[in-house]
A and B are shown apart, each in its own frame.
Chain A
């Protein structure tokens, strides 16, 4: 496949986003937007997870923590002055990014399973804090009254769907840009061999911090619209284990070596889950994930993308004047 420079890639992604948004105007059934929102939410989450877990090789079990930071930032802002949703999204992203940076600084000297456990611990600590914070409803949870219409006259669910569509496009463009940059090269060396990366001049700690911050920020942005989607948010739903499990399973099923893997994995798995929720039972969701995971680990350990790559994917040289 010919290489498309990142700026053209983002332009094409923007055009596709506008086309999907325009086509969605033809949809009259609100369920499409309810289900589509969840699928796109997982596109963002798995893409964000893959920046640290796939590109860098650091498995993050704390996805739900970063996601909930975004959600609860939106709750706090809503209770204070109910801003425009994009303001909450940016605030959630910034806060989650900063927490990612802090967590990275504290934990990135750990490797493998120790790092994974540390990220899980972060999510548990955050959940405990929120559970004991009355302002955001504590363990009782909090109700958010969803406006009837969005700022452009759409139904609010349609507005949330379009918002998540834009966030998906942003996260995909960020992941694609990283993949073909000097930063992406550096992250790949960390995944392959951190000691050799340092010996080759790669500032591994700095790059890992950038990856943790970007990954956390995208997860936080993704979580910010959640309170308006569910209208009732409590710690057990905000910090739901399913977020962590799905955001790991989707890139693994799609393939972690490129931006496309998490997108394919999320579209596939989240769509199957939505269909199963309606046709069978929502309790089956994690069972479906487990069964598909076992299948892929056995048959296609490099995910769907890996099935189409003979001898590994050729990397693109990074842009000449990339930072980091």
Chain B
């Protein structure tokens, strides 16, 4: 089976600092992949290179059979590659529902080469709001939301773009035990609907529950890639997390 996302020898530098060094990664359609690593290991840089927020200096990213080199971030989103941000970035001047109108207008319309009617956009937005449990907050501003609601809004906006692949960048950071379960269930449901999910997370309980495959980055290098239970026993991974 060909990979939905194929990364070959991806490299990224910031001046003299090597943020990513020759990363290879293949993610199959429908897969749930966990991406872990200590702070500064290059996880967010990798996401930014995949999503188009940063340009990689070497290597290539192929998504759904298309080379993404040089493609702007919005074009990648339109191809079906959505991401949420580690720090939520809502559109503060808009309501929760309007936040979701944006990807519906700019992504779904552009991808399908059609103009969705107001009713269709409303239905799509309402459906996503119901999925994430924010329907009661549809007309509220992001500043009125709690931490978990803000995280849900971040995911909901990515979901409204109708993605084939969703990259959730630390969507559970700062949440309580039950809130983590809530987001976990949401990502599981999304995956059950056919969306491939890459989850970047520090909460190991969530990572181990969610991931079918675990990838570990340390200092910009991939040091492990495999079944979660094998990866966490990998001596190099243990050393990276706990030390000698």
CA distance A197 to B94 in the complex (A): 13
Smallest beta-carbon distance B56→chain A, Å: 17
Contact, CB under 8 Å: B74 / A192: no
The answer to whether the Cβ of B101 comes within 8 Å of any Cβ in the partner chain is yes
Contact mask A167-199 → B, CB, 8 Å, 1/0? 000000000000000100110110111011111
Chain B, residue nearest A57 (CB): B93
The answer to whether the Cβ of A60 comes within 8 Å of any Cβ in the partner chain is no
Contact, CB under 8 Å: A197 / B102: yes
Contact, CB under 8 Å: A200 / B103: yes
Neighbour of B74 across the interface among A193, A198, A315, CB < 8 A: A198
Contact, CB under 8 Å: A312 / B93: yes
The answer to whether the Cβ of B90 comes within 8 Å of any Cβ in the partner chain is yes
Contact, CB under 8 Å: B94 / A202: no
CA distance A315 to B161 in the complex (A): 20
Find the residue from A199, A320, A321 having the highest chain B CB count within 10 A: A199
Which of B9-60 touch A at CB < 8 Å? 51-53
CA distance A182 to B102 in the complex (A): 9
The answer to whether the Cβ of A50 comes within 8 Å of any Cβ in the partner chain is no
Contact, CB under 8 Å: B107 / A200: yes
Find the residue from B72, B89, B118, B141 having the highest chain A CB count within 10 A: B89
Contact, CB under 8 Å: A195 / B106: no
CA distance A318 to B115 in the complex (A): 12
Neighbour of A189 across the interface among B82, B95, B102, B110, CB < 8 A: B102
**Interface residue total, chain A, C-beta cutoff 8 A:** 28
A312 in contact with B141 given A188-B91, A201-B77 (CB within 8 Å): yes
The answer to whether the Cβ of A6 comes within 8 Å of any Cβ in the partner chain is no
The answer to whether the Cβ of B78 comes within 8 Å of any Cβ in the partner chain is yes
CA distance A311 to B94 in the complex (A): 11
Contact, CB under 8 Å: B85 / A188: no
Which of B61-102 touch A at CB < 8 Å? 72-75, 77-78, 82-83, 85, 89-95, 98, 101-102
The answer to whether the Cβ of B117 comes within 8 Å of any Cβ in the partner chain is yes
Neighbour of A315 across the interface among B77, B82, B94, B117, CB < 8 A: B94
Neighbour of B85 across the interface among A185, A192, A196, A203, CB < 8 A: A196
- Across-interface contacts of A196 in B (CB, < 8 A): 85, 89-91, 157
CA distance A193 to B53 in the complex (A): 13
- Across-interface contacts of B53 in A (CB, < 8 A): 195, 198-199
Q: Top 9 A-B pairs ranked by shortest CB distance?
A: A201-B107, A196-B89, A201-B106, A198-B73, A192-B91, A200-B103, A201-B77, A193-B89, A200-B102
Q: List 23 A-B contacts (CB under 8 A).
A: A182-B105, A185-B102, A186-B102, A192-B92, A192-B93, A195-B53, A196-B157, A198-B77, A199-B51, A199-B74, A201-B102, A201-B103, A201-B106, A201-B107, A201-B110, A201-B161, A202-B106, A203-B74, A311-B141, A312-B141, A314-B95, A317-B121, A320-B117
Given contacts A193-B89, A199-B85, 11 further A-B contacts (CB under 8 A): A192-B91, A192-B92, A193-B90, A195-B73, A197-B91, A198-B74, A199-B73, A201-B107, A202-B106, A205-B72, A314-B95
Residues of A within 8 A of B (CB): 182, 185-186, 188-189, 191-193, 195-205, 257, 311-312, 314-315, 317-318, 320-321
